[in-house]
Structure 1
């Protein structure tokens, strides 16, 4: 129950970060950033786009991370999709780009770290980052930053150069926060692997 509560908390914090970025009219990386870019271009609901984009990544998750992690990730992605849907009922407001970039990036980094530490992810490159950390001890913050940077650079068309630069600042802050918690994330991942092997034996 504690694990589920912490994943919910991580999703809530990440949701607030995503909403802040949306009202700053900037994007983040990964599938969340890609979803925001599509939302700006098509005006379709973020929650729906975010959920659909993550579907292909579940196949990789099942093959490389196992069913428990995948089911937990599907649950976390679904929860985040539902939570971000609340934004459509919020009053219209705007946040300065720099404030939104730093605050949104900080909250997303904290939220993702909580989700990672508790054996889940929010889909997309998060899954690959945790897999590479588990298999090769690669810093998940660095992996997330590389993939996020690709998404943000490709999204400059929809948000413009200045907002694109603020978006890069946002994912840099997110990557730094995740990197700060990388040892705790690695420790929890190792402990789960040991428990799983002991159970199988």
Structure 2
């Protein structure tokens, strides 16, 4: 149990590190605001160090979350909430120049910063969410609004983060910067979705066959997957048969398709996208 917890928190720490590096070296020097407390840190960076700003704001929100949402929420949030500003503080302490990468770029600086920063932030956040972590910050406000007003998370997310991005337009008065910031927010959301959920995705294949035992054994032997057998009956013919259901990774589909066709050419096979598969061979080995 302890080994599992250490493993999960190590991966969450890795995700937070990637996210923070993307923010520090790409988004921050180009004033790209992606919403949340990190976006606010960009807005006020000329007045207060981003790490100190995030410590203050995230700590306040953490205490607010403890008072309103309870101890369980606090315990789940405290690690990610403090990890990111700590990494920022270390980078500032060792004197790492936030612009050392971007200063070496001569053309399309905003585009490169937006794509590179979004990629790192999105992958980092996706890893954090995949292993049950959270980075706190604006998540606390969003959770409180959801609990008190019962507004869907997606609506709250676009409202709160969208408000911060709009503030960037007021602060910097740069429409090009604003457009890149909006694009970055959408790119990050797509990457987070792919890393946190679709990494566990696959295909679920349904096979209606008169040779279920042979199909089942072929699945075991070929791709080492479990399967489920249920009774089926033709709606028109009334002929009884079996349906074999198996979820597999995308790369295993073509392999099984040819095996099924060889075993029972008359089998009726269809498949659907599976957004997330949890269990042995997917989220557990």
SS at match of 2:89: helix
Compute the RMSD of aligned alpha carbons. 2.9
Larger helix percent: 1
* TM-score normalised per structure 2: 0.55
Q: Deviations over 1:17-65 (max 9, x none)?
A: 111101223222101101111114x1x2100101211233224533665
Question: Are 1:162 and 2:176 counterparts?
Answer: yes
From 101, 107, 119, the equivalent of 2:132 is 119
**CA separation of 1:123 and 1:117: change in aligned 2, threshold 3 A:** same
* Kept in 2: contact 1:145–1:175 (CA 8 A): no
Larger strand percent: 2
Determine the structure 2 residue equivalent to 1:56. Answer: 60
From 9, 27, 40, the equivalent of 2:14 is 9
Question: Are 1:174 and 2:178 counterparts?
Answer: no
SS at match of 2:34: coil
From 68, 72, 77, the equivalent of 2:81 is 77
- Greater Rg over alpha carbons, structure: 2
Map 1:1-201; keep pairs closer than 5 Å: 1-19=6-24, 20-40=26-46, 42=47, 44-59=48-63, 61-62=65-66, 66-88=70-92, 89-91=95-97, 92-93=99-100, 94=102, 96-127=109-140, 143-159=156-172, 160-180=174-194, 181=196
Which consecutive unaligned segments of at least 5 residues does structure 1 have? 188-201
Task: Say which structure, 1 or 2, has more relative contact order (CA 8 Å, 6+ apart).
Answer: 1
* TM-score normalised per structure 1: 0.74
Which consecutive unaligned segments of at least 5 residues does structure 2 have? 1-5, 201-274, 277-285
Instruction: For residue 161 of structure 1, report the CA deviation from its aligned partner.
Output: 2.2
Instruction: For residue 109 of structure 1, report the CA deviation from its aligned partner.
Output: 1.7
